[in-house]
Amino acid sequence: MAETTLHIIGRQYVVRCRDGEEAHLAHLASLIEEKARAAQQTAQGLTETRTLLFAALFLADEIADLKRQVAEHVQAPPPIESDDGPAAQAIEALAARIEKLNQRLVAEPPTA
């Protein structure tokens, strides 16, 4: 088990994580830091707890928006705009050729 130190709004937090996840946790901490700084700029004089609360709310709002977008995309995929006419004609032409080959094979007696 690894241990890493995260820096968020001027404080250090020592956390344990699985080996190799230190860089990922540092990245997540930078996202929290970014939102915490945005909260501090929006509302001056927030306590540390309220700053982190607003950072969490900002991140939760982004996650909710992304989930909604994914759900809309999964439920209603964009319509495929294609003309099936040429494909259908090609299939019909192949079917006709196969039918002619079948008739010739049935008409010709097998050679021994």
Q: Mean pLDDT, to the nearest integer, of 88-99?
A: 88
pLDDT band at 76 (very low <50, low <70, confident <90, very high): low
Residue 80, pLDDT > 70, answer: no
Q: Which residues pair with 7 in a beta bridge?
A: 12
How many Cβ atoms from other residues are within 10 Å of residue 21's Cβ?
A: 15
Query: Taking the chain, what is the end-to-end CA distance rounded to the nearest angstrom?
Result: 77
pTM of the prediction?
Answer: 0.62
pLDDT band at 32 (very low <50, low <70, confident <90, very high): very high
Residue 109, pLDDT > 60, answer: yes
Q: Are 6 and 25 in contact (CB under 8 A)?
A: yes
pLDDT of residue 108: 66
Q: When comparing pLDDT for 87 and 111, which is higher?
A: 87
Q: Spell out the SS3 assignment of 79-111.
A: CCCCCCHHHHHHHHHHHHHHHHHHHHHHHCCCC
Structure tokens at 36: 């915490």
Q: What's the mean pLDDT when you consider all of the chain?
A: 88
